[in-house]
Amino acid sequence: APGIAAWGGGRGGAHAVAAWRGGRGGAGALGGAAVPLGVLADAAFGDPRRGHPVAGFGRLAGAFERVAYRPTRLAGAVYAAVLVGVTAGAAALLERALPKTLVRAVCLWAALGGRSLAREAEAVGGLVERGDLDGARVRIRSLVGRDPEALDATELSRAVIESVAENTVDAVIAPLVWTAVAGAPGVVAYRAVNTLDAMVGNRSDRYARFGTASARADDVMNWPAARLAAALTVLLSGRPAATWRAWRDDAPKHPSPNAGQIEAAFAGALGLTLGGTLAYRGRVEHRPQLGTGRDPRPADIARAVRLARRISLATAALTWRFA
């Protein structure tokens, strides 16, 4: 509070606050600073250990589900629309009441997960490299939904690399894109949709119909980010021809319209083969092979993390002036 008072106090304090808020159109002296501020906050602090807004939204969504659930698509659409509309509306009100750049930076920070993703991926990679496969199988649960009990070193490495690719879109690229496109309401709406997809957008008996709207909304909102990320992977991979071929030829084979884009591009960029058979929530899925390279090794996890960082920084550079 004293720091904020100092910003607004004294001769010229009002001018500083006015510049922060932006004038007509929200530009001002710090216009465009939301992206670098949000990215720096994620790099410095990662996810808040307590009181994470996404966790709070998840609790709200769980409570509302107990009231709103019906095994129909209409009920699921109403459920998603209410939750996303309320959270995006709250963000819009905050943008009007508080300095816009600050609100956007905080909302972006809450939506980003790049530091946590890299930390967990590297932790699993370290365990696999040391031969602690049991420890890696426990730790990998924070990254993937597949059943890890029978995964060997190659399969653990493949699962982590696929998770790094997909979650770079979900937890970094898409939040940056939606902050640039629609400010705080956009990034908050995106994170709400993405969270609802994780909660109810699966094909279990309970959510096969109720979760349809959340799953489809997540597909739509991730569509531009997935393709931007894949294109940047081609440009930044050091293997543009191989990366382009893998993206062009293999992405359409994947059951997900978005995960396949970035996973295929990562396979080409890293010279690996991804995809294949996996056990997921008690059922076996036979996914197509992505890429034509060798099987992944534990050391490839660090390579995937470095590639994800390059893509993330490039996206931040492309979007920062728009937020």
pLDDT bin (cut points 50, 70, 90) of residue 262 is very high
Indicate the residue type of 100. K
Long-range Cβ contact pairs of 22-27 (< 8 A, separation 24 or more) = 22/100, 22/101, 26/100, 26/101
Q: Please, what is the Cα angle at 104 between 99 and 106, to 5 degrees? A: 95
Mean pLDDT confidence for 124-128 = 97
**CA pair distance 157, 222, nearest whole angstrom:** 25
Q: Which two tokens stand for residue 254?
A: 């994947």
pLDDT bin (cut points 50, 70, 90) of residue 102 is very high
pLDDT bin (cut points 50, 70, 90) of residue 6 is very low
The residue ranges of every structural domain in the chain are 28-322
Q: In the predicted model, is pLDDT for residue 243 greater than 70?
A: yes
User: What does the pLDDT read at residue 49?
Assistant: 73
**CA pair distance 9, 13, nearest whole angstrom:** 5
Instruction: Average the pLDDT over each of 105-109, 119-123, 282-286 and give the range with the smallest value.
Output: 282-286
User: What does the pLDDT read at residue 82?
Assistant: 99
Q: Which two tokens stand for residue 171?
A: 């937890």
User: What does the pLDDT read at residue 76?
Assistant: 98
User: What does the pLDDT read at residue 283?
Assistant: 64
Q: In the predicted model, is pLDDT for residue 4 greater than 50?
A: no
